[in-house]
Homo-oligomer: A and B are copies of this chain.
Amino acid sequence: MSTIREVGKRAGVSVATVSRVLNNKGYVHEDTRKAVTLAIKELDYKPNSVARSLSKKTSKTIGFLIPDITNPFFPQLVRAVEDVMYPAGYTTMLFNSDENLLHELEYIEGMTSKYIDGFIIASNTLQWEHLKGLHVPVVALDRAMDERISSVTIDNYEGSKKAIKYMIDRGCRQIAHIEGPPHVFTSMERKRAYLDSMNDHKLPVLLQQGQYEIEQGMVSTMKILSEHPEVDGIFAGNDVMAIGALKAASKLGIKVPEELSVMGFDGVKWGTLVTPELTTMQQPIYYMGQRAAELLLDRIQNVHSKVEHHQLHAELKVRQSVR
């Protein structure tokens, strides 16, 4: 690896000049520029990012915190973020936190000492208090965090209400809800919508705790159906649990959608692979990641950019699991 110094020597100029041509900054005579460019080519010189970072206090890197890449919702998000960040010259560091606050704080601290340029946070445990000390922009993804932190979310409440309304329209009268994990933003919103809907329509409430995982969807459904055979519809907290519900129904010999309707939320790809295909609320997952990345980029590059909150919408995807 050659250094800027060697390039300078070879081109017969000082490091300052080389730096100037490297960064297109300040005046430099056309001839010298050519000489320097040539020397760079000849030596196959590549600027050292670390040295550059130390000097500029920036790393062209962003951190992306997610709960768990193994949950099928996140790969698309990750892909989207990388797809906008990389062409913009930024590399993104992924971190699976399992919603563990300590790990997240540790990670953020580590990244800070690397002069990271910003964060996208799609996990739910971090709050404004933990982040306010940071001197870099943050955008919350798939959750609202605080007025002062940019966010990209979908309207989970509205989406859930639509989903449930559809179930009711299709004749469901005993709708149970499998909740997502307790302190997760999307989970709370969806539950709230369920409760309000049941209340509005004077329908009975039947809640079952879940975990955004297939097994939980199965277990919860088993429990619901054995204890409340009258249930004719399940509004699952997300697609993964809905798929678990389908699985459970099939194991119990209960026909979906004839005897039981199942509604998911998310619109992950796998929803079309199960039988029957999952009726669900489709989120613009990739687009959410894209927007979050663009927002962050703007906050990083444009001093005047301000906090923004983007609220997107989920769309009913009628397939086969609701009668």
Instruction: List chain A positions with a Cβ less than 8 A from chain B.
Output: 46-51, 53-54, 59, 68-70, 72, 74-76, 78-79, 82, 86, 91-96, 109-110, 112-115, 214, 243, 247, 250, 269-270, 273-275
Quick one: which of B92, B113, B270 contacts A48, CB cutoff 8 A? B113
Complex CA distance for A72 and B114, rounded to whole angstroms = 31
Complex CA distance for A250 and B276, rounded to whole angstroms = 11
The 6 closest A-B pairs by CB, nearest first: A275-B275, A49-B113, A69-B75, A49-B114, A50-B53, A50-B54
Q: Closest Cβ of chain B: how far from A320's Cβ, in Å?
A: 12
- Which of A49, A78, A79, A270 lies at the interface centre, i.e. has the most chain B CB atoms within 10 A of its CB? A49
Copies of the polypeptide in the assembly:
2
In contact, B70 and A76 (Cβ under 8 angstroms): yes
In contact, A273 and B50 (Cβ under 8 angstroms): no
Q: Which residue of B lies closest to A68 (CB)?
A: B79
A-B contact pairs, 18 of them (CB 8 A): A46-B109, A48-B54, A49-B110, A49-B113, A50-B59, A50-B115, A51-B54, A70-B79, A72-B72, A72-B75, A82-B94, A86-B95, A92-B93, A93-B94, A270-B273, A273-B273, A273-B274, A275-B275
In contact, B70 and A75 (Cβ under 8 angstroms): yes
> Residues of B contacting A59 with CB < 8 Å?
50
> Residues of B contacting A269 with CB < 8 Å?
214
In contact, B50 and A79 (Cβ under 8 angstroms): no
Q: Closest Cβ of chain B: how far from A316's Cβ, in Å?
A: 22
Complex CA distance for A250 and B273, rounded to whole angstroms = 11
> Residues of B contacting A274 with CB < 8 Å?
273-275
Q: Closest Cβ of chain B: how far from A159's Cβ, in Å?
A: 23
> Residues of B contacting A243 with CB < 8 Å?
273
Q: Which residue of B lies closest to A115 (CB)?
A: B50
